[in-house]
Amino acid sequence: MKAVIFDLDNTLFDHTGSAAAAVQAWIPQLGGTPSDALLAEWFAIEDRVYPRWIAGELTHQGQRRARLHEFLPLLDYPVPATEPEQDEFFAGYLELYKANWSAYPDARPALEVARSNDWRVGILTNGSTVQQNAKLEVIGLADLVDVVCTTESLGVSKPDPQSYLRTCAHLGVTPAETLMIGDNLDLDVLGAQAAGLTARHLNRPAGHLLTDLLPRVWQQYDELADDLSPRTDEDWPTDRELIDHEVVATEEDK
Ligand SMILES: [Mg+2]
């Protein structure tokens, strides 16, 4: 391996936690009472509407407006009449979302392993260039990343094979030299494998950690070295053993 490509949302960046905290704080501002059901609706709407931006049916701002049209009626809250008003309204949520941006605790250690392996490090995300780069800056990981590729910057999205191939090209590596890690089986694993990369699925609900999925090259060398050479003086024969051996050998010669 010469490079690793990470997905961003729910892989390095805790999107679900950040968004959940934001929605829980936002709902009371809209006169509602936060509940697990409303939170589940927020994410269900996001899952339904966001792909319409990926598919080119809506602009990035347009998918935000569409989410308001679906979510606010659940609170009996009127959707602002004009698009500028809707954008200003959505900014209230975004402010809370940004205030809660956070990396998973294993994100920086994983990036540091990749760097200590002397690997190139890329991000491939189905997101907007400005927002995804801002996330990396705010959560303090931007300095460990060589290349950030987004739906906007590439003009294609996962699982289009070109998304992985172009990210590899930006990193200056071939797909065969590249490991992809992400939380979405279809987008981060199966799509990457179809494009010729090695891929590993980060299943956080099953307890996976990024650091478990990332081989540590120098540790492997260290372990190999341990197998090949004695670790302590006790592993070497003592002078007494060497002498006894010579004695035995001498007797056998007789
Ligand atoms: Mg993801």
Residue 108 contacts residue 141 (beta carbons within 8 Å): yes
- Mean pLDDT for the chain overall: 90
Q: How far is the CA of 7 from the centre of ligand 1 (A)?
A: 6
- Give the model's pLDDT for residue 225: 61
Prediction pTM value: 0.83
- Give residue 139 CA to ligand 1 midpoint distance, Å: 16
Q: Looking at the predicted structure, is the pLDDT value of residue 229 above 80? A: no
Q: How far is the CA of 223 from the centre of ligand 1 (A)?
A: 33
Q: What is the Å distance from ligand 1's center to 124 Cα? A: 10
pLDDT per position as a tens digit, 25-35: 999 999 999 99
The Å distance, Cα 239 to ligand 1 centre, comes to: 61
- d(CA 74, CA 24) in angstroms, rounded, equals 14
* C-alpha 202 to ligand 1 mean position (Å): 9
How many angstroms separate the alpha carbon of residue 74 from the centre of ligand 1?
27
Q: Return the H-helix or E-strand segment holding 122.
A: strand 120-125
CA of residue 42 to ligand 1 center, whole Å: 17
Q: Name the band, by pLDDT with cuts 50, 70 and 90, for residue 4.
A: very high
Exposed (0-12), middle (13-18) or buried (19+): which is 177, by Cβ within 10 Å? Answer: middle
CA of 182 to the centre of ligand 1 (A): 6
Give distance in angstroms: CA of 243 to centre of ligand 1: 65
How far is the centre of ligand 1, averaged over its atoms, from the C-alpha of 155 (Å)?
Answer: 18
- The residue-averaged pLDDT of 171-184 equals 98
What are the structural domain ranges in the chain? 3-14+103-253, 15-99
Query: How far away, in angstroms, is 131 Cα from ligand 1 center?
Result: 15
The CATH number of the structural domain formed by 3-14+103-253 is: 3.40.50.1000
- Residue 190 — very low, low, confident or very high, per pLDDT cuts 50/70/90? very high
Distance 190 CA to ligand 1 centre (A): 13
Ligand 1 centroid distance, CA of 192 (Å): 13
| Mean pLDDT confidence for 189-208 | 97
How many Å lie between the centroid of ligand 1 and the Cα of residue 249? 67
In tens, the pLDDT along 140-153 reads 999 999 999 999 99
Distance 174 CA to ligand 1 centre (A): 23
Three-state SS across 134-151?
HHHHHCCCHHHCCEEEEH
pLDDT band at 98 (very low <50, low <70, confident <90, very high): very high
Separation between Cα atoms, residue 97 and residue 70, nearest integer Å: 19
Residue 161 preceded by cis peptide, ω within 30: no
Mean pLDDT of 90-99: 97
Quickly state the pLDDT bin for 217 (edges 50, 70, 90).
Answer: confident
Tokens of 42: 């927020």
- Specify the pLDDT at position 242: 43
